[in-house]
Amino acid sequence: MSECLGCENPTKVTLRTGTVVCNTCEEWRLECEARWALDTLPDRPEKKRTKKLRLTRGQYLEDVKAARGVDQYMRLRSTMLAILSDQKNGRAF
């Protein structure tokens, strides 16, 4: 999806692609989830054992696949990879 669904919500946000959507649109939720996963979850299991094991990005994506299906897994994964590519290439969002 590349544009707002027209919910007429006055609060607008800009996606990493430059598209402006409502802050209640699915595309914004997807991008926020991807940013959260990248900022919060480690990409590899931690070497030190702690009382509570932290979920890795890969494990989180597998949980998304099990709960929401392959299509939603692929959308989230693609968004995460695009954000990582933007960061690697120095493009801020």
Domain boundaries, the chain: 26-88
Give the residue, 87 or 67, on which the prediction is more confident. Answer: 67
Q: What is the pTM of this model?
A: 0.82
Q: How confident is the model at residue 9 (pLDDT cuts 50, 70, 90)?
A: confident
d(CA 85, CA 19): 18
E strand or H helix at 53: none
d(CA 54, CA 60): 10
Q: How confident is the model over 16-64, as pLDDT tens digits?
A: 999 889 988 999 999 999 999 999 998 887 766 665 667 899 999 999 9
Q: What is the mean pLDDT of residues 10-14?
A: 87
Residue 8: per-residue pLDDT: 72
User: No. of H helices and E strands in the chain?
Assistant: 3, 2
